[in-house]
Amino acid sequence: MGHGKLKKFAENETFRCLLQPDASAILNKEPGSRELRLKDHAIKGRWGADMFGNDHPIVLELGCGKGDYTIALAQRNPDINYIGVDIKGARLWKGAKFATEHALPNVAFLRTRIEFIDAFFGPQEVSEIWLTFSDPQLRGSENSRLSSPLFLERYRHFLKADGIVHLKTDSRYLYEYTKAVVEVNALHVVVAEEDIYAHRDRVPAEVTQVQTFYEKMFLEMGLPITYMAFGLAHEGPYAFPGEAFDHERWLEAEGPRRSFSHQPTKKM
């Protein structure tokens, strides 16, 4: 591990806005068993009181990377609390440092795996969720997609009844997959747009006015950016899209992109 990364990890420990729980704080081993069970963290249900000192709405960005989108939204909306979630401490360092140096009172970051998100937020604690340029998991497990029924079930545990999930992505594959999940479960769609910059009038202003580093790069590459906003109100477990989602069609439409950065591969 490089000296620069070690320095960032050390500095992360000094940021009040960054929560980095040990595994022992959220994982519990059953007596006589090797199985680990998720348990509630002390912050669960208390973000407003313990982190922000107010009762303003809370919005999450899952897979926030360096936190630029989280910070930009927070600067635009000072009466809303924003929490960026990511597993990479070196990435979160940039956002946490900026929020600390600029004394942003409505920004916080959480370092954890998104699979463990249930341990940190209580019922009705979150008003909105942003999924910005998430890995579409083109070759990975369907359950690893942040808009899969498995993750929607997790979000439902803490999202307000009228809460909204925002998906913003360059991946047409992920957009169409999410659309299929939404349709199969008859979820309420607020907005669904295949090219937000060609139809700015169809999406909220901040969707095009706030951009991530990767978004700017994708736009320079001529890739359309999609956006969908939907609710989670649904009776019973969420269904998987099955044949309603044409995996092969949208995988082909995705083009030769890398699953990590979605960038086109170089031709040899």
Q: Cα angle at 108 between 65 and 231, to 5 degrees?
A: 75
Structure tokens at 137: 């998991």
Catalytic pick from 135, 162, 201, 246? 135
The helix-helix angle for 89-101 and 3-12 (nearest 10°) equals 50
The helix-helix angle for 68-76 and 89-101 (nearest 10°) equals 30
For residue 137, give the 3-state DSSP assignment.
coil
Residue 135 is a catalytic residue: yes
Q: What is the DSSP string of 48-117?
A: IIIIISS---EEEEET-TTSHHHHHHHHH-TTSEEEEEES-HHHHHHHHHHHHHTT-TTEEEEES-GGGG
Query: What whole-number distance in Å separates Cα of residue 123 and Cα of residue 27?
Result: 20
Query: What whole-number distance in Å separates Cα of residue 147 and Cα of residue 155?
Result: 10
List the beta bridge partners of residue 228: 167, 192
Phi, psi (degrees; rounded to nearest 5) at 80:
-125, 140
Active site residues: 135
